[in-house]
Amino acid sequence: MPFPRSGRAAQTLSAAAMSALLLASAMKHFRDPAFYRQVVPGYLCRDDEPGRDAAPARPLALLSREEWIALSGLLELAAAVGILVPGTRKVAATGTAVMFTVFLAGHVDALQRAYGPRGTQAQRKVHTVRLPLQAPLIAWAWSLRRPAGGARP
């Protein structure tokens, strides 16, 4: 005998798990921002260090590295809440998939620097693992866009 609510239960459980992951990551942005420092591309960061000579103009350098880390933590917090609420889940899941896709740029940049002249063996290992983890996260977030029960939107 089929369980008519099993699709809905699985979708709700998946959304809760994604929400928990996003919440844990958002909290880590504020408790251990250094963990995310390497995945914020330098071309996005203002050079706000006092006493340093002005760096060449970077048109995308709108925020400091710390501000980008805090902003992405806030976005992950908002995504965690939005995915939990069935009425906002589709929009939040779409935004989360887009956010993870945008984060690819930072992971690629970090991987390139890890394999550059200043990169360490530890950085190479970490970023070699971190980059491909984005693909299942993007797919998972995208899958939460579907209504419970497997019906197509």
pLDDT digits (tens, 9 = 90+) for 34-87: 999 999 998 889 876 555 555 566 777 889 999 999 999 999 999 999 999 999
CA distance 60 to 31: 26
How many angstroms from the chain centroid is the CA of residue 146?
A: 20
Q: What is the pLDDT of residue 78?
A: 98
- Angle, in degrees to the nearest 10, between helices 121-143 and 89-114: 160
HEC string of 81-144 equals HHHHCCCCHHHHHHHHHHHHHHHHHHHHHHHHHHCCCCCCHHHHHHHHHHHHHHHHHHHHHHHC
The structure tokens listed for 54 are: 């002005």
Q: Provide the pLDDT for residue 49.
A: 57
- At residue 128, the pLDDT reads 93
In tens, the pLDDT along 90-142 reads: 999 999 999 999 999 999 999 999 999 999 999 999 999 999 999 999 999 99
pLDDT of 46 reads 86
pLDDT at residue 69, as a whole number: 96
What is the tens place of the pLDDT at every residue in 10-32?
Answer: 889 999 999 999 999 999 999 99
CA atoms within 13 A on the CB side of 13: 7
pLDDT of residue 1: 40
pLDDT at 48: 60
Confidence at residue 153, expressed as pLDDT on a 0 to 100 scale: 47
- The confidence score (pLDDT) of residue 149 equals 56
